């Protein structure tokens, strides 16, 4: 991707996010996060990757996707008004599961860390429970 298309992709992402947050009224797309935008070199098409915190099941992903598809022409019209482009790309929205997967991974790591802490504290408790008669002369109770 050239610098120009990267710059345009970032402008598109920023402006699409603003339009969806400020101007769109569809409640299905209220908590959408745009993760990235891939723009074709000829600016004919842009794939907008999105994620949402509440999109943990296939039903909600489909509902949000339907809301985004229905808002695509409205968003494209707004982009044409504010961006200095001769041709505003056709918008295609695609679900990006990376945020959901990241949350799952963090939960697994926290669980693993908690289990490790429990094992370490159990080992420490077991070593402190030695019989006082087995202590050497330098140890006191």
Q: How far apart are the first and last CA of the chain?
A: 70
The 10s digit of each residue's pLDDT in 85-141 is 899 999 999 999 887 788 788 888 888 887 887 777 777 777 665 555 555 555 554
Domain of residue 115, residue span: 102-127
Q: Report the half-sphere exposure of 29 (CA within 13 A, side-chain side).
A: 24
Check whether residue 46 and residue 89 sit in a common domain.
yes
pTM: 0.72
Query: Token pair of 85, please?
Result: 């482009």
Which pLDDT band, with edges at 50, 70 and 90, does 80 fall under?
Answer: very high
Only one residue has tokens 């961006």, namely: 83
The 10s digit of each residue's pLDDT in 20-34 is 999 999 998 988 999
Task: Provide Rg for the chain, Cα atoms.
Answer: 26
Q: Is 33 exposed, middle or buried (0-12, 13-18, 19+ CB in 10 A)?
A: middle
Number of domains in the chain: 2
Average pLDDT over residues 58-76: 93
Tell me, what CATH number does 75's domain have? 3.30.300.20
Check whether residue 13 and residue 70 sit in a common domain.
yes
Check whether residue 55 and residue 91 sit in a common domain.
yes
Report how far residue 23's alpha carbon sits from residue 18's, in angstroms, rounded to the nearest whole number. 8
């Amino acid at each position: 991707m050239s610098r120009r298309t990267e710059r345009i992709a970032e402008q598109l992402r920023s402006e699409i996010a603003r339009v969806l947050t400020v101007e769109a009224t569809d409640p299905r797309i209220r908590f959408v996060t745009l993760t990235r935008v891939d723009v074709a070199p000829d600016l004919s098409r842009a794939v907008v990757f999105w994620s949402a915190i509440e999109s943990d099941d296939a039903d909600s992903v489909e509902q949000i996707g339907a809301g985004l598809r229905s808002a695509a022409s409205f968003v494209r019209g707004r982009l044409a008004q504010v961006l200095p482009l001769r041709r505003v790309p056709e918008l295609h929205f695609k679900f990006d599961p990376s945020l959901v997967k990241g949350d799952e991974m963090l939960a697994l790591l926290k669980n693993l860390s908690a289990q490790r802490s429990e094992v370490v504290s159990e080992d420490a408790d077991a070593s402190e429970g030695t019989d006082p008669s087995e202590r050497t002369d330098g140890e006191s109770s």
